[in-house]
Structure 1
Amino acid sequence: MLLSQIRTAQGGLAVVAREGTEAYEVRGASSVYDLAMHCATTGERLVDRIAALGLDAAVDLEKLYAEGRMLPPLTHPDPAHLHLTGTGLTHLGSASARNAMHAKSEDESDSMKMFRLGVEGGKPANGGAGVQPEWFYKGTGAALVAPGGPLVSPGFAEDGSEEPEIAGLYVIGPDGTPFRLGFALANEFSDHVMEKQNYLYLAHSKLRPASVGPELLIGELPEHVEGTSRILRDGGTVFEKPFLSGEANMSHSIANLEHHHFKYEIFRQPGDVHLHMFGTATLSFAEGIETRPGDMFEIVAPQFGLPLRNTLTGGPETRPEPRTTVRAL
């Protein structure tokens, strides 16, 4: 089952469920967050809760998408309680692009060392904790962009490029237990030129908006996910390449990545939402593509329903942002 959120004609929020091509509003569901927190509190499965509520009117998701009424499939009433985070160097082949950015004169770059550690210990056979991955923070819900919305690159940025990924969507239950709703497409938008200058700029390069959705796949992540990442410009395609995900294509298990995120108590605060991105091995930047304002990023994988589309705006071509001034109280 796929789950999504839409903005109604009256300005409210509705939840939509679909299996196959037919999509219907979920009766009485005010948000996916409320559905998830009910299930986290009562122990009811999400699909059972939806079945108990029942379905209302059919909706045309593609039409709503074109009208700009699709929302991220999971949001929080207070954006400060939604966390955008991610892990890198988690996919087979992901080290090559990163290593090229951070190659050193010695035998092995830090990126390649991190990748090798993941290959050797990212999928522990005994079910325990494996080696920890690279981890980064992207921001709060203030940085979450709806499907179809603009990915705004700040004036001080040196690049704004896509990263086609799969994200896990979670709520934290009343007792601090993380609950996963499922998975969705994500564009982990980053500044790769800044990162390339020095690996220690990685944290800066990730403090950019991200987009997730449009639809949430309830349940487990398929072992093999194969999708396509494109950049569309002036009616043509300037970049198109397959991307792979799922544990069959990863050096870490999903369980290991989840453990090393939620092991921190600060990320187990009751009621919070987490959208955690699991990495990629496919980057247009690694192919020498320079993005431009107006470019449309399109990420699609059949299991996840509608494509994730966002347009690049802003960036270094715009007027540089003025220096931020801090005032003393």
Structure 2
Amino acid sequence: MKRVCNRPIQIDALTICYEVVHPYYYEQLSTLDFGECLDMDEFRLYRTEGRYFDNVYAIRLWNGTQDIEWGYLKFNLARGDEQSNTHTSGNRKVWMSLNNETLYSNDFHCLTYIEQRLGLVFHNITSLDLCLDTSFSVSPLIKAYAHNKNVTTILNGKRITDRDEDRPELTYTTSGSLNKQGKYLTVNIKQRNAIKDKSKGITVLTYDKAAEISNASDKQYILQHYANPKRLFRTEVHLNSEDIKSYVENRGINYTPLILIDEATLEDMFFHFLGSVIRFQSRTLDTSWGHILGRS
């Protein structure tokens, strides 16, 4: 079967850092007790509890069909000092995280309106998960290329010559039933500094997304987004702020939220970071990420 995938790159997780340039609503939010609400007409913010921030607010809105929890606004890092909560400009830091379901709907486009209404100006993307969902499995081919002595594996920019040396950056996980214990294969590839903490580096993950939805997350809206396919396999890249900043600087791209809706930029970013973590070379096989993911 020919490997072909024409789906666009999908954002699966997103957190953005802002500067508070008009502090009126920031100050209003700061006075709310837990459970209290600031009504902005088109959307509402409810103060709730959070693990990493002292101030966390659930953003809810009516999308024309139903009332949804769109995302979260957060500020005042727990145990953070004044410097960690303030930009060098003197403006306060605020973070906004979108709910996963929001990213698979047109509600994502409310982002610009919400940030403007709250008096926020974009500073940087704190974390970003990009993925490509295919109708064919990717994990077995990655494992086969890594195992093939006639294929050179380049891991985190280093050409691997000692094939017997342990590679903690590259792990395989199998799961399934009692009779088919290797039914599902997940491949996890990390930069060295992300082995213990993925916020410290780039990670790549390939797995059976349809099985994960069925057996664990129950995120049926993802299947609905793709018109309910029976087979869905995901290749995912997790990026942090420094990775994204370096990318836009090297590419000469204007660093604005517009990159999040530019399909060409997301495509280039996705494949750039895939190759920076792991890639393969062969004189006889097409081992490019374009081939692996059905782009070539």
**Under a length normalisation based on structure 2, what TM-score does the superposition of the two structures give?**
0.26
Asked which structure has the greater CA Rg, the reply is 2
Q: Which has the higher helix share?
A: 2
**Under a length normalisation based on structure 1, what TM-score does the superposition of the two structures give?**
0.24
